């Protein structure tokens, strides 16, 4: 089925349609322009104006849900594997769209596209272990009274609503599939709402899966363009999984319908993630090199547009100078420009508006922190600096551990980090916590006792902690990489959400119920249930 129509607004750009209520539908106006951030050219338009979103949600609930839930976990896991294979076969196309609409280098696109395919494959594999079951089981039947025949068992029943997935612009592929994989495995149909700025890739991937006819009708829908009144029609059994800025997350959480109906919401928001160089580490130690490499990789990968990227760099005060020098030496090797040029290792931000926001954010940081690195005569390779959304990487530095509260407030969503010197380990832990709740922090030291202490001290304010001693310096997966087997999310400012974490992620899409009954009744329920921890 064609997913694009002749553009009605006079350029070569595509008009992205939404796949809702089992058919492709275009909005009634051109909507928002999606651009190539390297050139500023419009590549697509997206509008959801006039779409009947009440009917769309009902279709997902009433048509997609029941058919999905007739299948067992193992059958749905098999479908995830087929989706992964279908997407993998067109990997080059996805990379091209990621270059044209997100300004991704090949390495950036791999994080998004390969990350999404890898996540689907992972859930296909671990979902198969749940076998022919239709329910989840938690623990074993337990005796509840003197009569041994009266027992209790906690089970998870898949929700009978629709999962609304609202995603951020920086991961159009991974954001779509990391949520959809878990939801579909649970048996809950998906209404995916990609961020408009980069919806093209998400829309084409969904189109590939719909065309392949892999899923029951109504199991997978996509809404391109503004969310409009989508949330007004939520009801019992529906969930919202949101990824984006803290402000929009708050708007979603405060939505009248969400509050009135107590709709289950998972928020993955922004985060001021830290990297911490241990007090024991000197410039000639391997941990120092691993630390500097990771900071620079996080600043430049996806042009710093990763929710998990390192924003605050905590170093012992007596190492501040050598750490600054090491980071600058690596930053000087970053080539910014057209991601189509193989020599370029950092592309543009997503659009000129985001460039303006990042430049403004850098100026804000600069009110309390000085520039350590900010190239003045910056020219992007093979690109027009005025039309493209390019910024060079910026490293700022506070004079002391105090008096720079702005670095704990402002998330600059670009290739920007601020170095903060600390006095002692307690001061370092306190500074890391001042992010107000973060997705990830990484700690670099040769002292495993210190790493363990840091991990525990930072545990209540972080969702994930990467504790790097030289033994894993080259083999760890990286500060910013979200693995499907590990929890993703963080407390406080980071949204308080939890995604992934292997089969643990399935619980968001199930109602946990305490079943009380006779041994025979519970055995009949238990027969249909699988233990996700087994």
Q: Which residues, other chains included, contact 363 with Cβ-Cβ below 8 Å and sequence gap of 6+? A: none
Reduce the DSSP state of residue 200 to 3 states and report it.
helix
Residue number with CB closer to ligand NAP (38 or 305):
305
Alpha carbon distance 64, 22 (integer Å)? 9
Q: Does 196 bind ligand NAP (CB under 6 A)?
A: yes
Which listed range, 78-86, 144-152, 191-199, 329-337, lies at the site for ligand NAP (CB under 6 A)?
Answer: 191-199
Closest approach of ligand NAP to the CB of residue 193, in Å: 5
Q: Mask: binding to ligand NAP, 367-406, rule CB under 6 A, as x and -?
A: ----------------------------------------
Return the residue of 111, 252, 275, 310 that touches ligand NAP, per CB under 6 A.
252
Residue among 167, 345, 351, 427 that touches ligand NAP (CB under 6 A): 167
Residue 116: Cβ within 10 Å count: 28
Residues β-bridged to residue 241 = 165, 266
- Residues near ligand NAP (CB under 6 A), total: 28
Name the residues annotated as catalytic. 268, 307
Within its chain, how far is the Cα of 40 from the centroid? Answer: 26
Exactly one of 176, 307, 362, 500 binds ligand NAP (CB under 6 A); that residue is: 307
Told to check if 45 binds ligand NAP by CB under 6 A, we report: no
**Helix H segments across 191-245?**
199-211
Residue 377 corresponds to which tokens in the numbers above? Answer: 């005569």
Distance CA 500, CA 490 (A): 12
Place of tokens 């029951």: 216
Report the alpha-carbon distance of residue 481 to residue 497 in Å, rounded: 17
When binding is defined by CB under 6 A, the residue of 45, 122, 123, 169 that contacts ligand NAP is 169
Rg, the chain, Cα only = 24
Query: For residues 209-248, which are near ligand NAP according to CB under 6 A?
Result: 226-227, 243-245, 248
- Does 407 contact ligand NAP by CB under 6 A? no
The residue number with the shortest CB distance to ligand NAP is: 244
Instruction: Rule CB under 6 A: choose which of 99, 193, 302, 355 binds ligand NAP.
Output: 193
Q: Which two tokens stand for residue 123?
A: 């859930």
Buried b (16+ CB within 10 A) or exposed e, 275-288: bbbbbebeeebebb
Nearest to 219 by CA among 174, 176, 188, 178: 188
Instruction: Report 428-447 residues binding ligand NAP (CB under 6 A).
Output: 439
- Under the criterion CB under 6 A, does residue 361 sit at the interface with ligand NAP? no
Closest to 41 measured CA to CA, from 153, 200, 157: 200
Interacting residues with ligand NAP between 314 and 333 (CB under 6 A): none
357 scored as a contact of ligand NAP (CB under 6 A): no
List contacts with ligand NAP (CB under 6 A).
166-171, 193, 195-197, 226-227, 243-245, 248, 251-252, 268-271, 307, 411, 413, 439, 494-495
């Amino acid at each position: 089925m064609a997913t694009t129509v002749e553009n009605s607004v006079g350029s070569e750009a595509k008009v992205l349609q939404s796949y809702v209520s089992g058919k492709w539908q275009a909005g009634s106006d051109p909507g928002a322009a999606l651009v190539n951030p390297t050139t500023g050219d419009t590549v697509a338009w997206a509008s959801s104006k006039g779409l009947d979103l009440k009917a769309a949600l009902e279709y997902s609930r009433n048509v997609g849900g029941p058919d999905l839930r007739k299948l067992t976990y193992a059958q749905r896991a098999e479908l995830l594997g087929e989706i992964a294979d279908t997407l993998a076969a067109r990997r080059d196309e996805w990379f091209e769209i990621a270059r044209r609409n997100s300004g991704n280098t090949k390495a950036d696109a791999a994080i998004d596209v390969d990350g999404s395919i890898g996540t689907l494959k992972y859930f296909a594999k671990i979902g198969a272990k749940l076998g022919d079951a239709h329910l989840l089981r938690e623990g074993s039947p337990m005796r509840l009274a003197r009569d041994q025949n009266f027992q209790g068992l906690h089970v998870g029943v898949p929700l009978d609503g629709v999962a609304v997935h609202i995603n951020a612009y920086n991961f159009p592929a991974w954001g779509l599939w990391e949520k959809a994989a878990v939801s579909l495995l649970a048996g809950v149909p998906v209404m995916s709402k990609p961020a408009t700025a980069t919806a093209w890739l998400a829309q084409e991937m969904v189109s590939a899966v719909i065309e392949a006819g892999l899923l029951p009708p109504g199991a997978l829908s996509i809404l391109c363009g503004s969310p409009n009144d989508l949330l007004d029609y939520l009801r019992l059994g529906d969930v919202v999984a949101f990824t984006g800025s803290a402000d929009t997350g708050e708007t979603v959480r405060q939505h009248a319908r969400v509050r009135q109906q107590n709709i289950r919401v998972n928020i993955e928001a922004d985060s001021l993630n830290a990297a911490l160089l241990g007090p024991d580490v000197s410039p000639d130690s391997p941990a120092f090199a691993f630390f500097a490499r990771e900071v620079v990789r996080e600043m430049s990968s996806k042009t710093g547009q990763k929710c998990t990227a390192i924003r605050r760099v905590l170093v012992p005060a007596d190492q501040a100078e050598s750490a600054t020098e090491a980071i600058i030496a690596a930053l000087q090797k970053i080539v910014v420009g057209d991601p189509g040029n193989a020599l370029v290792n950092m592309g543009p931000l997503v659009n000129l508006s985001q460039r303006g926001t990042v430049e403004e954010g850098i100026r804000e940081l600069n009110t309390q922190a000085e520039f350590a690195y900010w190239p003045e005569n910056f020219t992007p390779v093979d690109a027009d600096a005025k039309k493209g959304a390019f910024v060079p990487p910026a490293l700022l530095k506070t004079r002391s551990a105090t008096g720079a509260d702005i670095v704990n407030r402002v998330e600059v969503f670009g290739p920007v980090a601020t170095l903060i010197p600390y006095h002692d380990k307690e001061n370092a832990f306190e500074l890391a916590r001042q992010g107000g709740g973060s997705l990830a922090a990484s700690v670099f030291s040769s002292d495993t006792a210190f790493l363990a202490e840091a991990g525990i001290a930072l545990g209540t304010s972080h969702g994930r902690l990467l504790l790097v001693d030289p033994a894993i310096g080259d083999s760890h997966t990286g500060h910013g990489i979200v693995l499907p087997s590990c929890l993703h999310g963080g407390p406080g400012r980071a949204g308080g959400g939890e995604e992934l974490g292997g089969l643990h992620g399935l619980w968001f899409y199930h109602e946990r119920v305490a079943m009380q009954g006779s041994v025979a009744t519970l055995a009949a329920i238990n027969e249909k249930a699988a233990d996700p921890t087994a």
